[in-house]
Amino acid sequence: MHSEDPFRPHAHDPNLEPPAGDGSFVLRERNGRMQTITLPQLKQLPYAEVADCFIVSTGHGTSGPFIFGGVSIADFMIHFGEDEWSELEVVSVDGFGNRILAAEVGGRRKRPFLLAYTLNGQELSREAGLLRLIVPQETDDALRQVKWIGEIRVL
Ligand SMILES: Nc1nc2c(c(=O)[nH]1)N[C@H]1C(S)=C(S)[C@@H](COP(=O)(O)O)O[C@H]1N2
Ligand SMILES: [Mo]
């Protein structure tokens, strides 16, 4: 992990050596409690798909359209009993991160923010991030599309 602020990435180069891991991550709750959540656990939660997603990079072009599938951030937070959160930090194991505000994911969204573990109906490969934050609305520099999620902090 590098030492820069994960919320202010300095480089847009793709990570050519995907970090180790099996897709599990740590949820740090508002009360400070930590729990490890595995991909099989996530697969028990309601599944949602969002089509026509693009990964838009200033540095290396646009890819897509993709259908990403997984659990919506809203369902995930409800399931884990965190109903009074205001902000999440989603941080990858390679030190890349993004913040999500509750107001962005509230209500019933047609194109929900996802903890995605499928791409076009197949499991996400390690190269593609294993478990990845998908923000369908982001169409500029892909800084919100966090691959290899390692920790989610509830604030
Ligand atoms: N964990 C992690 N996620 C990341 C990055 C990264 O370096 N590490 N780079 C971001 C940037 S800048 C881009 S352009 C996209 C690239 O996604 P792709 O590999 O699907 O093209 O991933 C985003 N998510
Ligand atoms: Mo990027």
Q: What is the pLDDT of residues 61-112, one digit of tens each?
A: 899 999 999 999 999 999 998 878 999 999 999 999 999 999 999 878 899 9
pLDDT exceeds 70 at position 1: no
Give the residue whose CA is nearest to atom 17 of ligand 1.
Answer: 55
Strands of 87-92's sheet in order across:
34-37, 25-28, 149-154, 87-92, 97-101
User: How does pLDDT run across 117-147, given as a tens digit for each residue?
Assistant: 999 999 999 999 999 999 999 988 899 999 9
Give the residue whose CA is nearest to atom 24 of ligand 1.
Answer: 146
For the Cβ of 94 lying below 6 angstroms from any atom of ligand 1, the answer is yes
Range with lowest mean pLDDT among 29-38, 55-64, 138-147: 55-64
Nearest bound ligand to CA 98?
1
For the Cβ of 30 lying below 6 angstroms from any atom of ligand 1, the answer is no
Give the residue whose CA is nearest to atom 8 of ligand 1.
Answer: 96
Residues 21/148, Cβ–Cβ less than 8 Å? yes
Looking from the CA of residue 149, the nearest atom of ligand 1 is 1
pLDDT exceeds 70 at position 14: no
